[in-house]
Structure 1
Amino acid sequence: MTSMMDVGDTRLAYTDVGTGSPIVWLHGSGPGATGMSNFGGNLAAFGDHRNIVVDLPGWGRSTRPTTDEPLIFHAAERVCDAMTALGIERAHLVGNSYGGAVAMRMAMRHPERVDRLVLMAPGGVLPADAPPWPKGLEHLFAYMADEKPSRQAMAEFVRLMVFDESLATESLIDERYESSLRAHPELPIPPNFGDLTPDLHRVAAPTLLVWGREDQTVPLAWASKILEGIPDAELRVLPHCRHWVQYERADEFNHIVSEFLRGGASAAVEG
């Protein structure tokens, strides 16, 4: 069940399930994204943890941010405030894409709040030659810019997120489309997400990067700067997989992440 809380100038939606060492789950910036749409299918594998699944400001049922601050920076502070309100001093952070960038920012600014980091193709660190944007980001920005986006545009976006397009089911497309109409962020295109590159060295937490080899949204080639910048980072690459690793390769993702959060080495690690 979704609950609401006030954190500063923002009203955040979140789901709080389970008991044990806490994990905060942070979703991506795609149209129609919510915490539970990104991670609801993974939570059963983490039943020995307290799972806090957040709708980041401007997505899902959370209120839109009214700030000129970069979105990553703004969201990171609101999530830290939410942890405090929930009585959580320190947690593992699991974030994909934009949510991964929010997690990195939290680890940079508030290292005492972060235990281990799991980042699936995180944003916030761009190569010097971007733009042009990868195909997935082009579709994401086009959808955000459209005042009346179509279901067909959502279907095209969802199919770009998975290598196996049979996973882009009609029900998933409907869910994401309906959610996008409820919370369609009014943002400049491209949005002012913020640049984390200068502070990568400040991430002290053990960090696992998980990437789909065929990602067309945040390409695998972008991983090298993060892997080199974070002192205690390792990389796991999953073949035949695009941007939604936690959805497309859920069983393998759950196993890899569970082992990493317990402090064990993930199998077949590259990096």
Structure 2
Amino acid sequence: MDYVLKEENGFQYVDEGQGETLLLLHGLMGALSNWEHVIEEFKSQYRVIIPMLPIYELPLITTGVKSLSKFVHKFIKYKNLTNITLIGNSLGGHVALIYCLSHPENIKALVLSGSSGLYENAFGGSFPRRESYDFVKEKVEYTFYDPATATKELVDEVFETINDRNRVIRILAMAKSAIRHNMAKDVHKIKIPVALIWGKNDKITPPEVAVEFHQLLPDSTLQWIDHCGHAAMMEQPQEFNALLREFLDKVTLKV
């Protein structure tokens, strides 16, 4: 990814383009590069910002989805951002939901794709064969509809991460926190427009999760992407960007 990673005041982030802010939140095993196609598509009209979530830097005792939401709040305050469209994939969607409940005044609209918060079928509570490259490759491929989307570079990155003891402990703590922090009773309080852009073949947060979110969120639209797993913005970027643009145009017209 050819974008400058800025470092300021303990924050690492990408900040591209000008205009209204799109704030993108990556997932548990995700990275800034997951959003490369979204940056490319929207930076000519929007200010696209992606903070690096401190999944591996939090003290173990505070490693959880609420701590990440507090981190996002500190970042938004530091950058003095307002009128934000918040876009989250997987764990990033979960963090976005918590943030919207705590600080609705800063958020104009929300986009969720493969978001946790209701139910997920991730790696599970452990990595029984994390030293096996083939096991890790199989798990990464499981994230996508087309296993070829799991490039060697991506598998290598995940393999290295989960074989780092410090990181794997925090990944497991964060995954458990996400499972415990079920939002079914809270999301009805989110009144802003929400787009659910979901892979129809998502095995980690399956289609019924999207349907439940759609039923619970008062002002939501649900769009499906065929032949697509858990990370739509990576696997079907053109379709994801087209649906995202459609939603952003609609939200702009409402104002």
Superposed, 1:56-75 pairs within 5 Å as: 56-59=53-56, 63-68=57-62, 71-75=64-68
| Identity within the alignment, % | 26
Q: What TM-score comes out, normalization by structure 2 length?
A: 0.85
In structure 1, the partner of 2:167 is 184
Q: Is the counterpart of residue 151 in structure 1 residue 150 in structure 2? A: no
Count of residue pairs the alignment pairs up: 243
SS at match of 1:218: coil
* Counterpart contact for 2:197–2:243, Cα < 8 Å: no
When the two chains are superposed, the root-mean-square deviation of aligned CA atoms in Å is 2.4
Superposed, 1:1-271 pairs within 5 Å as: 1-6=4-9, 11-30=10-29, 33-34=30-31, 36-47=32-43, 48-59=45-56, 63-68=57-62, 71-126=64-119, 134=121, 137=122, 139=123, 141-143=125-127, 149-178=131-160, 184-187=167-170, 188=172, 190-193=175-178, 194-263=181-250
Inter-partner Cα distance in structure 2 for 1:65 and 1:92: 29
Inter-partner Cα distance in structure 2 for 1:151 and 1:37: 22
Structure 1: where are the runs of 5+ without partners? 127-132, 266-271
Q: What TM-score comes out, normalization by structure 1 length?
A: 0.81
Inter-partner Cα distance in structure 2 for 1:192 and 1:151: 26
* Counterpart contact for 2:193–2:219, Cα < 8 Å: yes
* Counterpart contact for 1:107–1:204, Cα < 8 Å: no
Q: In structure 1, what residue type is equivalent to 2:23?
A: V
Aligned in 2, Cα 1:66/1:174: closer, same or farther, shift over 3 Å? closer
Q: How far off its partner does 1:202 sit? A: 1.3
Q: How far off its partner does 1:120 sit? A: 0.3
Structure 2: where are the runs of 5+ without partners? none
* Counterpart contact for 1:90–1:114, Cα < 8 Å: yes
* Counterpart contact for 1:58–1:185, Cα < 8 Å: no
Aligned in 2, Cα 1:213/1:83: closer, same or farther, shift over 3 Å? same
Inter-partner Cα distance in structure 2 for 1:29 and 1:5: 23
Inter-partner Cα distance in structure 2 for 1:117 and 1:23: 10
